[in-house]
Structure 1
Amino acid sequence: MSPTDLYPTRRFDEPRLIYRTEDPAVWGSAADGPLAQQHLDGHTQHGFTPVEQLLTPAELAAAQNEIEQLLHDPSLAGDERVVRERTTDEVRSVFDVHKISPFFAAMIRDDRIAGVARQILGSDVYVHQSRINYKPGFGGAPFEWHSDFETWHAEDGMPRMRAVSLSLAMTENYHFNGSLMIMPGSHQTFVSCIGETPADNHKASLVKQEIGTPDQASLRLLADKYGIHQFTGPAGSAVWFDSNCMHGSNGNITPFPRSNLFIVFNAIDNSLVEPFAADRPRPEYLGSRDWQVLN
């Protein structure tokens, strides 16, 4: 039997706002992992938890070197997991980095990463998606305002809001080079989007997302209510954020690139079903159905 759809989207003629009542933002407790209760309380209230410095200088240098190698890896030429900018053909994202790179596969199992994911979700976890986002200077395109959960629910079949993302800065995140913006508290409101999902929508949406993006009236309402917080900080800083946070980023016309490691952890108990608003699931590298517990 199909699970109840608590968050219907892409099926109505007008957008709807659905208040989140069933799924807490934090499922665990301070006794379950590295984060103190004050951090968990902040995550519940705002939908995110910033980390001033997640990696040591040596770890950061090794991670930056690995990212540079992935960017120029000839074996990935033509690989569908590599997404390029529409106007410049520069690399925009590389997906499945925890499978491509043994270095990142090991790093994300660290208690500072996987341990926090288990604590927030109150469950064993697996990696739903991983990627490097490269936002090159002089042409890195924006990421439109969106809730990740809306896409994961509609196109991947993620039933509930029991997933959390880590964005780990690999370069300096300035306020002017396209750093992440989140509407604090927006994770409590699900925006049901209009427009049916086209076949193979991911091929277009990974370059410029249009289907599954909220309407301007809903965005204005959320921004007026919650405001907008922009995340800046040095390489090695990070932010954990809820799957339903409304977030986006501006383009980068500066000379300073902005690269981030992005890992999505999903609770084992929240494994994927059939998509709620698409004719078939997206490819494995976008929404994993390999639900092996991350140890």
Structure 2
Amino acid sequence: MKSPAAINKRKAYQNIGLEWLIPAVVVVLWQWFVSAGLISQRILPTPVAVVEAGIKLVRNGDLFVYIGDSSRRALLGFVIGGGIGFALAIINGLLPLFEKLTDSSIQMIRTIPHLSLIPLIIAWFGIGEQGKIFLVALGVAFPIYLNTLHGIRAVDPGLIEMGRTYGLRGFSLFRTIIFPGALPSILVGLRFALGIMWITLIVSETISANSGIGYMAMNAREFFQMDIVVLSIVIYALLGKLSDWIAKVMERSWLQWHPHYRKGK
């Protein structure tokens, strides 16, 4: 009889296989369609050509520089915007007066498509780092704000009252009852914000940049290097997948008490 550890390990491998099954099939079909001449390589290079382009960029050192520049912008914007959104949600969730004062204004700003502000941001910041970081921060702040606020509101009032009965007040009540109860919703907002982070960065880098993955793609487009253009898209997709995987690991680690996030599922 197999041990629980062996069963969980086998289940983990099966889950990984299922997650990557469709992407693998897409890659195989992509290679076949292009190799068979059904799709012109001038329009869509083969996966092999894309990998070869990536190897060349790795050898000359450019690829890691581009990935590093983009990742730095994304993380800085995420930390700034996510921190602001989280702080506002905590304040508004715990202090009704502040919610009445600020929530309406926050919702009005939220309804403005942040990518439509790119011309204005270029006028303010130029094509430097500040504009891209500001745009990413603006994009990620709202999903974290909304989901954190929703999570705080959704905490069972009975649990809060029970905590007060046991003498919990202030930060102790928040740390013991409110924050754990809101954590599932907070992590949903985190995953949502990570997706917006990369989408925002892609758009901002392809419009105005002198470094990064988006710059690599636009520079390759000028010389019709479609293999590098497609490589840029694949890298963005892989970075997005990596971010989402990190968020899922955080869910499994921090929410082991929750039946939907137990290990092995």
TM-score of the two chains, using structure 2 as the length reference: 0.27
Give 1 or 2: higher strand fraction.
Answer: 1
Question: Which protein has greater RCO, CA pairs closer than 8 Å, 6+ apart?
Answer: 1
Largest Rg, 1 or 2 = 2
Higher helix share: 2
TM-score, normalised to structure 1, is 0.24
